[in-house]
Each structure stands twice: as structure tokens, then as C-alpha cells.
Structure 1
Amino acid sequence: MAASVLLNNVMANGPGLALDCTNKKRALLRITGKFHADVVFEASLDGVDYFSYSGRANGAGSRVAVVSAPGYVVFEVEPIVYLRPKVSRYESGAITVVGYAE
């Protein structure tokens, strides 16, 4: 499973690069850095229109579509084509997100 850098030390609001999940079953996004911001997760069927998409954070049973601390989120991606992180409510720090799909 190859890694894709989706956000690289980002220090502003806005979307990251999209992870191609075509014909994949699961994806994992690893969020690192010291920051005060939200990382929102979005999915797309066509690479143009994105919508909120939730996964399981840090192995928890409940699903989340937003995180505000380092960790990881696992997504079931069989029905979608693209998955991306988006920074919102940015205040300070630098955020890196690396994605893996299998």
C-alpha cells in the first residue's frame, strides 16, 4: 500500500489533494502535526462534487467526519472514487495528512 501526501505542512483553510480510491475497499488517513484547526473529510464520485464523509477515528466504534487532533481515521471506500481532507477553522500550526488505500 503506497502512501500519498494529501496535506503537507498546511497552514491555512482549504482542501487537500484527493486520494484515488477506485476499486479499493478501505482507506486510512493519518493526521500529524501540532495545530489548532479542524480536518474535515470529504468524498466524491466524480472528482468535482464533494460531500461530507465519515470514518472511524483511532480505532473507535463511532464514526466521525471531522477531527481536531493528530491521529488516524479508517474509511470504507468501496462506494466512492475520491477521498480528501479539508482544513477548516484554522487558527495555528501545521497539518500533514498522508493517505493509504487498499
Structure 2
Amino acid sequence: MRYDQTVYLIKEGYEEDGLNERVTQTFTMVKANVKRANLTFGDGSIYDTTIVRVFGEYDADKLAFANYDPSDASTTHEIQQISRHFNRTDFYIINSEVIFHG
């Protein structure tokens, strides 16, 4: 498996400054294998999903691809599920539900 694309794993936290609290973001740039697939759930619903597979054990709240701009929130993607395997982490981003018309 080739890890040939660059992704940014974004972790959000909170920082207290006296009485104020603000959201902070830290990011880790890693190489990843990115692919799109349709996932079928037990209830029969099908979703178009982007699967981002990285080598190693990572944790993230959001994910961004090569076009990442920290000042533009539209370049980040919410992670719906994380699965961990031996020395590998998979992040799942659901793009849309697949609806068949018949």
C-alpha cells in the first residue's frame, strides 16, 4: 500500500487565558493513502465515503488535504469514525448518502 498523499490531522483543544477560553488547533502533517468507497450499513443505507489511511497510531478531530488553509474552515473535513488496526489508523469522512432511484 502506498502512502503517497499529504494530509493534515487537526486536533482541537481549549486554552484558558484568565477568564477567557479559546479554541486552539494543532496539526500534524502525515503521508496517507486516500480512497473513496461506498459503505453499506446494517440498515441497508449506503454512503459515499472517503477513507484516509495513515501508518501509525494517530488521533484527530478534523482532517485536511493538500489545499489546507488554516484561516479557511471550508478546507477541513469532519471525521465521522476512526478505526485502529495494527500500526495503522483509518479515518472515515462521509461525503453523502447514496440514493438509488428506481
The answer, yes or no, to whether TM exceeds 0.5 is no
TM-score after normalising by structure 2: 0.32
**Higher relative contact order, structure no. (Cα contacts within 8 Å, ≥ 6 residues apart):** 1
